[in-house]
Amino acid sequence: MNISGNTILITGGGSGIGRALAEALHAKGNKVIIAGRRERALDAVTEANPGMESMLLDIQDATDIARFARQAVERFAGLNAVIQNAGIMKPENVPAADNLGIAEETIMTNLLGPIRLTTALLPHLMKQPQATVLTVSSGLAFVPLAATPTYSATKAAIHSWSIGLREQLKNTSVEVIEIAPPYVQTELLGPQQAVDPAAMPLAAFIAEVMTILETQPETTEVIVERCKPLRHAEATGTFAQVFAALNAQHA
């Protein structure tokens, strides 16, 4: 992926990793469009970053995704990259049977949403000389967090789907890059996460991601150093130890 000169759509761009990526890519000379459900949050980002634009999107709604995709390619004919960043993460108590609503919402947002939006945008992206689909999975795709089983499962599914999509698009102009964040200081699990010293500072994560994208343009996976123990746990035979440590930390 070229690090500049793109027209990039970022879902979930109103806060957290999405906002930070949007601002970093905007600073590199890309045309950036952020999308999400919270208009005030989107407005705050665009007001702080002149030239950045926003569009409302309900990633859980199939009809709204179709509308959004049509309008996005009409407004931004040069659109050649999409970062599928929107996601939710909520603890579930499966034995208490309070999990089904959370599970369904999580699957709609984290898995079906990116699949639907990518499918809707692909006809346009495939017409571009160079295009990129960037998916955002998680270190939990490789070592799950027991407290958030459906979140972990959706991220494992996004990892697998990214591999399959990459293979299907290998003879097209569209590349597929997966970004797998570790535990980062955002508010994904609530305000306490943003100040948790055990989490990777957001600015440090974004800086490392940008460095990888800039210096390794052929990469298919963006794995920062903090995430490598999770990514390689199965291959290195350390899965049981990493799983135990991860889940003890978040018990």
Kindly list the domain boundaries of the chain, sorted by start residue: 7-249
pLDDT band at 91 (very low <50, low <70, confident <90, very high): very high
Given a cut of 90, is residue 249 above it in pLDDT?
A: no
Please state the CATH superfamily assignment of the domain spanning residues 7-249 in this structure: NAD(P)-binding Rossmann-like Domain (3.40.50.720)
Given a cut of 80, is residue 70 above it in pLDDT?
A: yes
Given a cut of 80, is residue 247 above it in pLDDT?
A: yes
pLDDT digits (tens, 9 = 90+) for 18-40: 999 999 999 999 999 999 999 99
- Residues 23-45 as b or e (16 or more Cβ within 10 Å = b): bbbbebebbbbbbbbeeebbeeb
The rounded mean pLDDT for the chain is 97
Average pLDDT over every residue of 167-179: 98
pLDDT of residue 207: 98
In contact, 8 and 131? CB cutoff 8 Å: no
Given a cut of 80, is residue 102 above it in pLDDT?
A: yes
Read off the tokens for 53.
């634009």
pLDDT of residue 32: 98
Query: Cα torsion for 208, 48, 15, 137, to the nearest 10°?
Result: -40
Report the candidate in 182, 133, 174, 131 with the shortest Cα–Cα distance to residue 155.
182
Distance CA 153, CA 106 (A): 10
pLDDT of residue 157: 98
Average pLDDT over every residue of 159-169: 98
Catalytic residues: 151
**Beta strand segments in the chain, E:** 7-11, 31-36, 53-56, 81-84, 131-136, 174-179, 221-222
- Residues 196-220 as b or e (16 or more Cβ within 10 Å = b): beebbebeebbebbbebbeeeeeee
Given a cut of 80, is residue 107 above it in pLDDT?
A: yes
pLDDT of residue 147: 96
Given a cut of 90, is residue 74 above it in pLDDT?
A: yes
